[in-house]
Amino acid sequence: GAVVSQHPSRVICKSGTSVKIECRSLDFQATTMFWYRQFPKQSLMLMATSNEGSKATYEQGVEKDKFLINHASLTLSTLTVTSAHPEDSSFYICSAGPGGGGETQYFGPGTRLLVL
Amino acid sequence: QKEVEQNSGPLSVPEGAIASLNCTYSDRGSQSFFWYRQYSGKSPELIMSIYSNGDKEDGRFTAQLNKASQYVSLLIRDSQPSDSATYLCAVNNLVGYKLSFGAGTTVTVRA
């Protein structure tokens, strides 16, 4: 299957700082990528759809000014958690698919964020 | 009504048995159906995709799709302890290419 990477895999930061997470499609181009968040013992929650060259589409209840998404190239999307607080501590996972964003989605390994 | 519903579990099966996972979806326009496996602390991993009515087999896994009944299932034959994980059913109606996920069914295979 297609390979999606994320960096960093784990990050610990102080409250109030911003954290950037990268999602890369390694062997295909992706015009659309997706960002999810997962709290312990809970389901995946879609946060936003990242569109190459245009603004991201956020799901209801997700603060677009807090979770900044940039999809500047066909292989890279970034999620920046601005002014992070302890309640933002979670497992952030991106996904992408080689079919122009549709059909099969492959997940990155995830980024575990801990805000102290 | 949730878009995608899975049998709640947890499901415990003895090693070597068949694990049966069920999923129903509400959107009749759904086109693509996926099963992902998620080990604790890890991200989901695609194990099966199915697009047409009927069965699709891949090794010990068989996915079954019935669009008329809006039902998709996954059978795991000869279950192994390494199959112990949460299995997520996902449905794509190709509008915006978003996947709708079920809450997942946790499977434990007893040695």
Q: Within the 30-69 window of chain A, which residues sit less than 8 Å (CB to CB) from chain B?
A: 32, 34, 43-44, 46, 49, 57
Would you call B98 and A97 a contact, using CB atoms and an 8 Å cutoff? no
Min Cα distance B13 → chain A (Å) is 21
Measured between CA atoms, the residue of chain A closest to residue B49 is A104
Residue B2 amino acid letter? K
Q: Are strands B105-110 and B11-14 parallel, antiparallel or unpaired?
A: parallel
Distance (Å) from the alpha carbon of B79 to chain A's nearest alpha carbon: 23
Task: Label residues A82-115 b or e (16+ Cβ within 10 Å = b).
Answer: eebeeebbbbbbbbbbbbebbbbbbbbebbbbeb
pLDDT by residue for chain A (116 residues), tens digit each? 689 999 999 999 999 999 999 999 999 888 889 999 999 988 899 999 998 888 999 999 999 999 999 998 999 999 999 999 999 999 999 999 876 544 788 999 999 999 99
Phi/psi zone of residue A100: left (φ > 0), alpha (ψ -120 to 50 degrees), beta? left
- Partner-chain residue, chosen from A104, A108, A109, that has the shortest CB–CB distance to B46: A104
